[in-house]
Amino acid sequence: MEQYKKEFIEFMIDCEVLRFGDFVTKSGRKTPFFVNTGFYRTGAQLRKLGEYYAKAIESTFGTDFDVLFGPAYKGIPLSVAASMALSEHYGADIRYCSNRKEVKDHGDKGILLGGPIGDGDRVVIIEDVTTAGTSIHETLPIIQAQGDVNVLGLVVSVDRMERGQGEKSALKEIEEQFGFKTTAIVTMADVVEHLYNREYKGRVVIDDKLKAAIDAYYEQYGAK
């Protein structure tokens, strides 16, 4: 595993973004692990997060595209942080864009904030995590309503590696259904590999009991 992936896993632990316990996902699945990018709360954390995203974006999509789209609400700071990192580290001046939950009828009107999207634009979507692929079905119509755009793909922070609507992973289903690439900074397999029975800052994050709970979860929801 690449060093930056190990560092990102530890970064998520430090920021309390990656948590272990009893949770329920947006799709209603009970899960022993949860990723909440809302816990990146400081300027230093967002700067570092943007750098990790930028690395994943550049390695999969390059930097020859026009818009980085982050769906409201969590995608808003993600798109800003990653677009700044792409500029700083790769010299790519890419517009950030997000949607509003409610259409604004005065001042800067419309459904979008940030850079506009129009005909011919190449768009990469940035999200925190995709579990069952439900959010992409809400996001794509918003982007496609702006014009004849080319959606290149989707980047998330963590690939949960579980089934979407069928037997395949949510990211694989998205690739096959919409015909674009998907990528993640790390997968849950990376997380388990790096943390299982390994002490980090004085404690073992994933011990045998938690590993068994994760294994049981994937027995039920893991992608085939």
Asked about 106 being catalytic, the answer comes back as yes
For residue 191, the surrounding DSSP H or E stretch is: helix 188-195
Query: Tokens 């809302």 sit at which residue?
Result: 38
Nearest to 132 by CA among 106, 155, 163: 163
Are 157 and 184 contacting, i.e. CB atoms less than 8 angstroms apart? yes
Residue 1 CA to its chain's centroid (Å) = 19
Q: Out of 26, 30, 104, 137, pick the active-site residue.
A: 104
Measured CA to CA, the distance from residue 103 to residue 99 in angstroms comes to: 9
∠ CA 41-82-180 to the nearest 5 degrees? 125
Looking at 74-187, list the stretches that DSSP marks H as alpha helix, in order from N- to C-terminal side. Answer: 75-90, 134-144, 170-178
Q: Looking at 101, 106, 109, 224, which residue is catalytic? A: 106
Task: Check if 55 is active-site.
Answer: no
C-beta of residue 122 within 8 angstroms of C-beta of residue 67: yes
Give the torsion sign (CA, 84, 49, 39, 143): positive
Q: Please state, in angstroms and rounded to a whole number, the distance separating the CA atoms of residues 222 and 206.
A: 18
Record the tokens describing residue 200, joined without a space: 């980090």
Catalytic residue set: 104, 106
